[in-house]
């Protein structure tokens, strides 16, 4: 339309085609994602496309401007692809203060960025998200967003589904009780079998991206159930930034092993002082061990493992220690580790090669939870 009708020029067919391509044929209103070329009831081909103006084509229209309405009327940066319902919504009289130019620009930019990433990743490997959740010492774990979690592996991989497979292990009474851990382990075994294992049995090449929010012993057990034959990567949530993305792309930490021996002791313990230093007195309250191996991070704390390279350095050192103890009957393991390290502890366990491992957790004092291996 022309300025004589107090509106700027209409977008050209070429501009509209480019807009549809950038939007992926989906409504760009936040969290809508409606396929505007498919009738959701009949599944017939249709065309529900609405080209909405961010700054109105007319100075008197929604978000209109005396200086910009004509100039921006046919510019692709001022246009959004929408379904009919959301086009009506943003232009409804009195809603200009809700659907502002700034908010609509943010919707457009966010949606087009997501579409571009998906298009760039069409040939990327596909991964299935797996979320393990369980109360930690009686406290419910943080909420989980599959959309936020997926940012951890984009653009290297793309999600098979916008939803994650979830194994939710409930609390079974008193956290320190033997019954709690017996039932929790059985629950995890059963649900792993008919979710993850059945999925992998049907699709052997399945890749899993694991996002655990659960007690450390259950995460070790999950890693053990998966083993190193399943294709998988594990991620951990960073507390300060509230993200699952790794905070570095390089090696930032180192891990060393120290051996302590006691003349009157019996048995072997492994102490993993990664997120925090575990006092020897707390370990020896459980039993008087003959030998204690301490695997310690040079930099301890919640960010002791900031990258995949850090995680690799940890589990290689841990595996090296386990290799040196082949032939022993049983090990007691006292972990203060991030969730990613706990997962790899179980995943790298070699059945029939490494000693049986009794995993301890701490709630005041250390107490026995689960056993890994024969």
Q: Are residues 107 and 148 in the same domain?
A: no
**DSSP assigned state of 239:** T
pLDDT > 80? residue 122: no
Q: Supply the pTM of this predicted model.
A: 0.72
Residues of the chain with pLDDT > 90, as a percent, come to: 83
Per the domain annotation, does 213 fall within a domain?
yes
Cβ-based neighbours of 354, under 8 Å, separated by 6 or more: 322, 325, 326, 331, 373
Q: Are residues 114 and 135 in the same domain?
A: no
pLDDT > 90? residue 360: yes
Residues of the chain with pLDDT > 70, as a percent, come to: 98
Give 162's pLDDT tier (boundaries 50, 70, 90). Answer: confident
DSSP letter string, 35-61: BTTB-TTT--B----EEEESS-SSTTS
Q: Which domain holds residue 55?
A: 3-120
* Tokens coding 115: 């579409």
Helix (H) or strand (E) run with residue 365 in it: strand 365-372
Give 4's pLDDT tier (boundaries 50, 70, 90). Answer: very low
**DSSP assigned state of 290:** S
Q: Looking at residues 94-108, what average pLDDT do you find?
A: 94
Spatial distance between the Cα atoms of 203 and 197, rounded to a whole number of angstroms: 10
Q: Looking at residues 37-65, what average pLDDT do you find?
A: 91
Q: What is the model's pLDDT at position 239?
A: 80
Q: What is the model's pLDDT at position 2?
A: 43
pLDDT digits (tens, 9 = 90+) for 143-152: 899 999 999 9
Q: Are residues 43 and 143 in the same domain?
A: no
Per the domain annotation, does 241 fall within a domain?
no
Domains held by the chain: number = 3
């Amino acid at each position: 339309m022309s300025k004589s009708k107090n509106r700027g020029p209409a977008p050209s067919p070429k501009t509209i085609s480019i807009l549809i391509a950038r939007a992926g044929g989906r409504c760009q209103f936040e969290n809508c994602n409606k396929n505007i070329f498919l009738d959701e009831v009949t599944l017939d081909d249709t065309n529900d496309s609405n080209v909405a103006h961010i700054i109105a084509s007319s100075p008197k229209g929604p978000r209109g401007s005396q200086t910009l309405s004509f100039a921006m009327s046919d510019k692709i940066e001022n246009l959004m692809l929408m379904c009919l319902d959301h086009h009506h919504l943003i232009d409804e009289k009195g809603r200009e203060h809700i659907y502002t130019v700034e908010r609509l620009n943010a919707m457009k930019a966010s949606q087009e960025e997501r579409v571009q990433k998906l298009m760039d990743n069409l040939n990327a490997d596909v991964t299935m998200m797996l979320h393990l959740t369980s109360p930690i010492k009686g406290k419910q774990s943080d909420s989980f967003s599959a959309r936020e979690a997926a940012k951890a592996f984009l653009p290297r991989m793309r999600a098979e589904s916008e939803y994650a497979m979830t194994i939710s292990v409930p609390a079974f009474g008193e956290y320190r009780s033997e019954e709690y851990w017996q039932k929790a382990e059985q629950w995890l075994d059963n649900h792993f079998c008919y979710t993850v294992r059945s999925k992998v049995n049907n699709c052997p090449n399945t890749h899993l991206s694991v996002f655990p929010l659960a007690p450390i012993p259950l995460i070790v057990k999950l890693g053990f159930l998966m083993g190193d034959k399943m294709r998988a990567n594990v991620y951990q949530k960073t507390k300060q930034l509230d993200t699952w993305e790794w905070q570095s792309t390089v090696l930032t930490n180192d891990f060393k092993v120290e051996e302590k021996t006691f003349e009157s002791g019996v048995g072997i313990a492994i102490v993993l002082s990664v997120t925090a230093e575990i006092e020897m007195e707390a370990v020896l309250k459980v039993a008087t061990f003959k030998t204690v191996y301490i695997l310690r991070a040079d930099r301890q704390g919640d960010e002791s493992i900031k990258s995949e390279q850090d995680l690799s350095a940890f589990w290689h050192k841990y595996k090296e220690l386990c290799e040196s103890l082949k032939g022993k009957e049983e090990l007691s393991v006292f972990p203060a580790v991030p969730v990613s390290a706990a997962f790899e502890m179980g995943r790298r366990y070699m059945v029939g090669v490494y000693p049986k491992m009794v995993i301890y957790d701490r709630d005041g004092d250390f107490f026995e939870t689960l056993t890994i291996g024969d």
